[in-house]
């Protein structure tokens, strides 16, 4: 019994060790992002709050990591259950995660729609979130790649091995789409953001409140304020 427990503990430690080796470069990249952001300034443009509904307003808001990180992690937390709930990927398991950590990344067999459309669109989302809060172009690319690595190695790896195509094309194509969307947002009125940034625009229009009634039942209420 003791030997089985010892073997299980050693197996867990080996998995952790492999995980740290494979993801060490990613964590270094995450530490590098603030340095890139600080040393490579964004274009010298006036900073105007996006709440001012005038054509040509600057898209930049609060130059911090808070919104890009929260937005990206929220989208991952919503998207992952949807994928395995609709049988697009296998259900999560510890065994699958161990395999993902022990073996190298692989070329997947997903359709072209996933590899060259949906993943790049996701890359453009994370790129745009960083870009519009004041990150330079290289720092926004680094942030987008970091989000892609988090998805592949920390989330989707519970269902399938990390994909080479996803790591390559999510950011390499996604940043181009994201920069195009960013430049379009700079040149349009905030009321037209729906056309180039629908998900983020919808979330910014939502006001979600939580509370409890007299019977102490918790409720959530969502309201939207849309101005056309």
**Which residue segment(s) compose the domain that 192 sits in?**
2-224
Report the distance separating Cα 75 and Cα 79, nearest Å: 6
pLDDT-derived band at 52, boundaries 50, 70, 90: very low
Classify residue 130 by burial, with Cβ atoms within 10 Å: 0-12, 13-18, 19+.
Answer: buried
pLDDT tens readout for residues 212-228: 566 666 555 666 555 54
Q: Which two tokens stand for residue 112?
A: 């072209």
Domain total of the chain = 1
pLDDT-derived band at 53, boundaries 50, 70, 90: very low
Classify residue 11 by burial, with Cβ atoms within 10 Å: 0-12, 13-18, 19+.
Answer: exposed
* Residue 16 pLDDT: 47
Question: Where is 209: in which H helix or E strand?
Answer: strand 206-212
**3-class SS at 175?**
helix
* Residue 24 pLDDT: 46
* Residue 217 pLDDT: 66
Q: What is the mean pLDDT of the chain?
A: 77
């Amino acid at each position: 019994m003791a030997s089985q427990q010892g073997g299980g503990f050693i197996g867990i430690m080996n998995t952790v060790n492999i995980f740290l080796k494979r993801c060490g470069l990613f964590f270094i990249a995450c530490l590098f992002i603030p340095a890139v952001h600080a040393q490579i300034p964004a274009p010298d443009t006036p900073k105007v709050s996006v709440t001012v509904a005038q054509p040509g307003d600057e898209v930049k808001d609060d130059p911090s990591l808070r919104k890009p990180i929260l937005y990206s992690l929220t989208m991952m937390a919503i998207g992952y259950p949807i994928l395995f709930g609709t049988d697009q990927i296998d259900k999560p398991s510890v065994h699958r995660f161990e395999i993902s950590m022990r073996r190298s990344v692989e070329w997947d067999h997903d359709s072209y729609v996933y590899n060259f459309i949906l993943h790049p669109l996701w890359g453009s989302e994370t790129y745009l979130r960083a870009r519009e809060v004041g990150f330079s172009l290289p720092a926004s690319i680094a942030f987008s790649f970091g989000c892609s690595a988090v998805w592949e190695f920390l989330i989707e790896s519970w269902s399938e091995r990390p994909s080479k195509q996803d790591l390559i094309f999510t950011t390499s194509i996604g940043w181009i789409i994201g920069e195009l969307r960013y430049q379009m947002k700079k040149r349009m009125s905030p009321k037209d953001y729906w056309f180039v940034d629908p998900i983020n625009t919808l979330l910014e229009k939502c006001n979600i409140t939580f509370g409890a009634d007299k019977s102490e039942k918790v409720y959530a209420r969502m309201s939207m304020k849309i101005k056309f």
